[in-house]
Structures are given as structure tokens and as C-alpha cells.
Amino acid sequence: MLRVVLIVGIRSFFAILSLLAALKVTAQSAAVSLTPEADAFVRALVPTLNYGGAGAIAVSGVSATNASGQANGAFDSLIRFPVSNLVATVDSAIGSQNWVITRATLHLTEFASPPSALFNRGVGAFDVRWIANDNWIEGTGTPSAPATDGVKYQDLAGLLNGAIDASLGRFTNSGLDGGLSFNLALAPSFLADVRSGTRVSLYLTAASPQIGFTIDSRSNGGSSNWPALEITATARPNARIASVVKTGPNQLTISFATVSNWVNVLQSADNLSFSNAVSLLAVPAESSIVQTNFQDTVSGGTRFYRLSLAP
């Protein structure tokens, strides 16, 4: 006779097996707000110039105009955040790497009526992307004195990589002075970069030709209006096998719902210590829950199953 064990329980092979209940736990959580170590905007009309010290970053579509109706062309922006303190802080609050990111929010302060005629105005859509390349320099250029010592529009072709970079969402500015908050998509590559404890770069670009979105930057006065990336994390959840059902003479179907943003690993063994564990299935990290059924062929003896999580 084969016996099947779901980590903590033992049932007959001929029974339909399931856990009695899932434990309800109020997860410990932590939220950390990061300010940038660098930010800059770049302009399509002057691709060799830098504006890293302008006091603002901006996103502009090709048809947006300034207060006088003049078009200044497309603007894109880059923001880079250091995340080493985030990892240390969350590790201290929850446990070393024993946590999962549940929310990432980008906070920006809109400057609807910038005094410089360089900046366009208008409400529209823009995209936020995580980019893998952190190797760009903020620079010191201003609207009245652009420089060549930092990132420029012509550098974007070498910084952006469509095969690796990830979209974090499409959003709309308000056209009014004040703070705006945008909940970013939890793309696996973005999450992995945050958890790496190094640096994270975001790229903002127009999705509407009429958008003229000016944003306070880190070179503009006090830090209360600077861009900020707020990361919320909770304690690593428990993985749970929902059921094991006999579906054939020598076949069991193991069912479980994945834990989002983690790799879910199903293993089997013939002893409780799992010293000879065999990995049956690894479900890649996804931002949503995936209902999973795995069929295992068995021949006799005792079979133990374990579902675990990996970052």
C-alpha cells in the first residue's frame, strides 16, 4: 500500500486527501520610501545635451506646447533609486529575505505651470518602465545652461533594451499642481532588481502626443517634493497544497494555488526529512495566482509531498 503525506498529515492511498484548513495569519509588513540618487530629463530636439540639474524632470509628447503655444518636442526622463537600505530595513523588520513585495508606488509632484518656456504643458498618458541598465550619469545641465556631462537623448538607444526592460504601467498626469501616486505593476524583473539591494532605474516616456508633464526633481529644493519610490513588503507567505486526489490506479493529482511573485516548487520524497527529495515541478514567479494541478505516477511505499517558495 502507498501512503501519501502532505508535510503534516498521513492518509490512505485510496482516500481523497486534503488539508483540513489554512492557518489565518496577520502578516507582518514594512513600507520603505526611497528618494532618488539621480534623475534627469532628455530632449529629442537637442539629443546631445543634458538637463540633469534642471530642478525638474519632464515627460512630453511630440505635439505638446508651452504656455505660449510653442512646441518643444519630446521629453523623456530617467530616475535611479538606491535600494540597499530598503533590503536591510525590511530584512531587519521581517527577517532576512523572508518577505515578498506586495506594492510599489511611484510618488511624483506635478508642477503644472513651470516658469521656463522650455517645458510643455498638457494632460495625457505616459508609460513607466523598469530598465535593466543603471549606467547613466545625472549631469548638471539646466534649461538656461544645458550641459554635456550627463545622460542625453542620444544615449537612450544604448540604455533601453526591449527584450529585457519591463513595463510597469501606463498613467495620466492631472495638469494641476500637487502630488500624484501611481501603483506600479509588479513585474518579476523589477522585483528581482529591488530585492538585489543595488540600484533600480525607471524610464518615463510619453504615450500621448499632447502630454506635457513637468515633475519636481531632486535638484529642486527640499526633498518633500522629490520623486519617491515606496515599497511595501509583507512576511513571506506559507505555501499550501490544497489537495491530493487519486485519479488513476497508480496516479495522484496534487493541486495548489501558487503564491504570487514567488517561484513555487513542488517536491516529493520517501522520507519525512526530504533527504532524497525530487523536484516535480517549479512554477515561475507570476504577479497573479495560478491554479496548478500536477499528476504524479506512483508505485507503492510511502510518498511525502512538500510545496516550498523560492525568491
Q: What is the pLDDT of residue 272?
A: 86
User: Percentage of the chain with pLDDT > 90?
Assistant: 68
> Strands 199-206, 125-131: parallel, antiparallel or unpaired by DSSP?
antiparallel
- The mean pLDDT value for 119-148 works out to 98
At 233-287, the pLDDT tens digits run 988 778 889 999 988 888 999 999 998 877 899 999 988 888 889 999 999 988 7
Q: What is the pLDDT of residue 5?
A: 44
Place of cell 518615463: 204
Interatomic CA distance for residues 226 and 298, integer angstroms = 59
- The mean pLDDT value for 171-191 works out to 97
Q: What is the pLDDT of residue 100?
A: 83
| Better pLDDT: 253 or 303 | 253
Q: What is the pLDDT of residue 96?
A: 80
Q: What is the pLDDT of residue 303?
A: 84
The C-alpha cell at 299 is: 508505485
Interatomic CA distance for residues 207 and 115, integer angstroms = 24
Average pLDDT of the chain, as a whole number:
88
DSSP 8-state symbol, 93: H
Q: Is the pLDDT of residue 102 over 70?
A: yes
Domain ranges for the chain:
3-25+238-310, 29-235
- The mean pLDDT value for 91-105 works out to 86
User: Percentage of the chain with pLDDT > 70?
Assistant: 91
**Confidence band of 288 (pLDDT split at 50, 70, 90):** confident
At 4-62, the pLDDT tens digits run 444 433 232 322 222 222 222 234 889 999 999 999 999 999 999 999 999 999 999 99
The C-alpha cell at 276 is: 532524497
Q: How many helices (H) and strands (E) does the chain have?
A: 3, 20
DSSP SS3 for 53: coil
Q: What is the pLDDT of residue 274?
A: 87
Q: What is the pLDDT of residue 29?
A: 87
H or E segment at 156?
A: helix 156-159
The C-alpha cell at 141 is: 545641465
Interatomic CA distance for residues 161 and 180, integer angstroms = 28
Q: Is the pLDDT of residue 311 over 70?
A: no
The answer to whether the beta carbons of residues 241 and 250 sit under 8 Å apart is: no
Q: Is the pLDDT of residue 123 over 60?
A: yes
Burial (Cβ within 10 Å: 0-12, 13-18, ≥19) of residue 169: middle
**Confidence band of 133 (pLDDT split at 50, 70, 90):** very high
